[in-house]
Amino acid sequence: MNVVVVNRDGTASTPRLTGSILEGVTRSSILTLLAEQGLTVTERDIPLAELVDGVRSGDVAEIFACGTAAVVTPIGRLAGTDFDLVVGDGEAGSLTRDVHAQLTGIQYGTREDAHGWLTRLV
């Protein structure tokens, strides 16, 4: 499972690949779709304190998890021993919904696969 943090400034960040983050097809596809929507996509370390501060200040607009089984799953709340925060309005944000719709649309053949990600087997 991977995570993507979307900021109000038009950036989307995901943890860099270090061996504990899965280098998956779903992750790669989502990063491509985000870049095509005009977001600046970065792969970097995301300290928990930075994430908490960003949610508190409202700079973090959306957070979602992604992976083969989950596809795109919104994260509406961050909770820890010292914090309990709602991300955005607590619901899936518009970008999260759009990326989910784009990716599943390509997977199910209801949207064009402009990337050559699909292979017809039958």
108 Cβ contact list (under 8 Å, min separation 6) = none
Retrieve residue 64's tokens.
């979602």
Assess if residue 40 is contained within a domain.
yes
Q: Domain of 40?
A: 2-108
Q: In what side-by-side order are the strands of the sheet with 11-14?
A: 40-43, 11-14, 2-7, 60-67, 71-74
In this predicted structure, what is the pLDDT of residue 1?
Answer: 85
- Mean pLDDT for all residues in the chain: 94
Beta strand segments in the chain, E: 2-7, 11-14, 40-43, 60-67, 71-74, 77-79, 84-86
CATH number, domain with residue 7: 3.20.10.10
Phi, psi of 63 (to 5 degrees): -135, 135
Assess if residue 55 is contained within a domain.
yes
CA 114 distance to own-chain centroid = 20
- Read off the pLDDT band of 70 (50, 70, 90): confident
Assess if residue 115 is contained within a domain.
no
Residue 8 has pLDDT above 80, yes or no: yes
pLDDT for 9-50, tens place per residue? 999 999 998 876 667 899 999 999 999 999 999 999 999 999
Assess if residue 113 is contained within a domain.
no
Amino acid at 69: A
Number of domains in the chain: 1
59 Cβ contact list (under 8 Å, min separation 6) = 7, 8, 9, 53
